[in-house]
Amino acid sequence: TEHRFKGGRETQRQQGLLLSDYSYDEQGRLKAQTVWQTQQQQLFWRDYSYDAGGNLAALSDTRNRRSYQYDKQDRLLRIDYAHNQAPERFAHDPAGNLLMQDRPGPTTLKGNRLLMEGDRHYDYDAYGNLVRERRGTAQCLVTEYRYDSQH
């Protein structure tokens, strides 16, 4: 893997036959990403745009376009999709904790912790630390996390 940087930001990454280009706006936020196979065939592109508050306002890529809406505290409220997909909606408590995510497919939240999203299941210890992620068919792919005595 070979990386190129300009002003402390990665502008290009070569990984075998894949070449990724990155560009940034005046505030240093990622503006565009393109992935090429060699320098001839474009495999993927993604463009980012931001609102006046610096929040991600829209994301367009090879597959879809998403637009993001926020409340006055800059908490994500809604994601709309261009290709007739149902929007995602979010709700927060006054402290900013995520209370609800309404989206197609199974997602379960409890106690401000994600328990399930799609085929991924999450387990937490008594301190609220993520200790296990189970995914795949019958959740047979498992990643376990361990913490020191400081959690």
Q: Are 106 and 116 in contact (CB under 8 A)?
A: yes
Residue corresponding to tokens 């993001």: 68
Residue corresponding to tokens 């990155």: 22
Kindly report the average pLDDT of the chain as a whole number.
Answer: 86
Please write the tens of the pLDDT for every residue from 12-58: 999 988 999 999 999 999 999 999 997 688 999 999 999 999 999 99
Helix (H, G, I), strand (E, B) or coil at 54: coil
Tokens (6 digits) for 35: 């992935």
Residues 71 and 14 in one domain: yes
Residues 81 and 99 in one domain: yes
Domain total for the chain? Answer: 2
Residues 82 and 114 in one domain: no
pTM for this entry: 0.65
DSSP H helices in the chain: none
Residues 122 and 144 in one domain: yes
Domain around 128: 106-151
Residues 97 and 113 in one domain: no
Beta strands across the sheet bearing 130-135:
107-110, 113-117, 120-124, 130-135, 141-144
| pLDDT score for 90 | 83
